[in-house]
Structure 1
Amino acid sequence: MKSATTFLMFQGQADEAIQQYQQWFFDLQVESLTYMENSQQVAMAVLHLKGLKIMVNDSAIKHNFTFTPSTSIYVECESAEEIGSLVAQILEGGQALMPLDNYGFSKQFAWVQDRFGVSWQLTYN
């Protein structure tokens, strides 16, 4: 096996999602980004977030499915302020699957789905 990578397939919102994620996560790095010819649709992008490689694209084929909450990106926050800020930002247009709270396994934990349908589990201990 050469590698294993998280892959997020959007349907026309990849560029907008990348821009939004750059605002939420200041250390998100865009390694590469190419667009489909004569379009703002992302042919392929490679992102890096705290050691996690994420590939992103817009599907050229329309599908009857999108993201499922059971697959999520797990983020360990460095402070109570950071988790609170991220949860608030992601909830703008998104939804809380598990609101920010103490669930026993984490002093502060939230499972939120952003407006693009991508799920994020955020924790702070």
Structure 2
Amino acid sequence: MTQKITTFLMFQKGDAEEAMTFYLSLFDDAKVIDVNRYGPGEPGKEGTLKHATFALAGQEYMCSDSSVQHGFTFTPSMSLWVGCDSEEELERLYTALLDGGQPLMPLDSYGFSTKFGWVNDRFGVSWQLNLP
């Protein structure tokens, strides 16, 4: 087996599937690869995601609903970087991700790109959107 590194998103409020479905709706080249749910008698809430794998723009991600509450959550120090092909795409993604979320850097030209925006989405996941 070839070694592979995959981003893993751990959710604690039972919203991993909602987040995954939302992310899949944002990108044309997106698909669910595998879903495994908690069943009766297992430590997580029945029906929530024990583990799921999905792909966005050819990159695989994993996510789960943690059955254990932790003293930490997502932080902007680790973010998902999206290189956008057009200003329209960048603005569409920024607007969608900002809905219920928090802007970290509003859409603007910051000198290192044509247009850039950084946002924490409503699930707490941090996204940097760039138009080279």
**TM-score after normalising by structure 2:** 0.90
Deviation of residue 40 (structure 1)?
2.8
Secondary structure of the corresponding residue to residue 76 of structure 2: coil
Structure 1, unaligned runs of 5 or more: none
CA distance in structure 1 between the partners assigned to 2:29 and 2:59 by the alignment = 12
Instruction: Name which one, 1 or 2, has greater alpha-carbon Rg.
Output: 2
Deviation of residue 26 (structure 1)?
2.9
Aligned residues: 125
Match of 1:30 in 2: 32
Match of 1:115 in 2: 122
CA distance in structure 2 between the partners assigned to 1:65 and 1:107 by the alignment = 34
CA contact (8 A) 1:15 1:40 kept: no
2:105 to 95, 98, 101: 98
Secondary structure of the corresponding residue to residue 20 of structure 1: helix
**TM-score after normalising by structure 1:** 0.94
Match of 2:92 in 1: 85
- Aligned-residue identity in percent: 48
The Cα RMSD (Å) is: 1.2
Deviation of residue 79 (structure 1)?
0.6
Match of 1:6 in 2: 7
Q: Which runs of 4+ in 1 moved over 2 A?
A: none
Q: Which amino acid aligns with 2:81?
A: Y
Secondary structure of the corresponding residue to residue 122 of structure 1: strand
CA distance in structure 2 between the partners assigned to 1:88 and 1:82 by the alignment = 10
